[in-house]
Structures are given as structure tokens and as C-alpha cells.
């Protein structure tokens, strides 16, 4: 189940980020490499809500928590477990 959720989260991230590299490099620096910016982050929040059913308020979003694909997946899985 967790592997399926991880794949789904990475599917959404790859779609928004427009790169498959997020699947192959779990420590890819999403913001430092400008793969994600503020607009893409909002798009990602909306897409995650639509595709996975996780609600992330921009007020509770922490950039450091989504700094890499690995951290983003961990954060979303944690939110889904609540």
C-alpha cells in the first residue's frame, strides 16, 4: 500500500515538475535546482488534493519539508496517516 501511495505521489510530482528525474533521484534538490517554485508548489498542492485526497494548506506548507522527492513523499504519507 505504501509503495503504491509513494508511486502515486511521485506520479503527481513528476507531472507538475515536468521531469521524470524526481523518480530516479530521491534526494534531488527541488527548490535549489528550480524544479519547483512558488507557482509550481501551488499547482502541486492542488494536484495532490485532487489525485490523492490529501489537503495541504499553503499556511501549513513548509518548503524544507518538500525540499527533495524523498522528503515530500514522507510528508504526504505522514499527512495521510493522520
- Grid coordinates representing 62? 513548509
For residue 5, which of 52, 57, 63 has the smallest C-alpha distance?
Answer: 52
- CA 43/CA 36 separation, integer angstroms: 10
pLDDT value, residue 1: 60
pLDDT, position 18: 97
Instruction: Provide block-wise average pLDDT over 10 residues at a time, the chain (82 residues).
Output: 91 98 97 96 96 91 95 96 75
For residues 53 and 32, what is the distance between their CA atoms, to the nearest angstrom? 27
Amino acid at each position: 500500500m505504501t509503495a503504491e501511495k509513494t508511486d502515486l505521489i511521485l506520479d503527481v510530482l513528476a507531472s507538475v515538475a515536468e521531469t521524470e528525474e524526481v523518480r530516479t533521484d530521491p534526494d534531488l534538490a527541488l527548490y535549489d535546482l528550480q524544479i519547483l517554485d512558488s507557482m509550481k508548489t501551488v499547482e502541486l498542492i492542488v494536484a495532490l488534493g485532487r489525485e490523492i485526497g490529501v489537503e495541504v494548506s499553503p499556511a501549513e506548507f513548509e518548503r524544507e519539508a518538500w525540499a527533495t522527492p524523498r522528503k515530500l513523499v514522507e510528508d504526504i504519507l505522514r499527512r495521510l496517516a493522520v
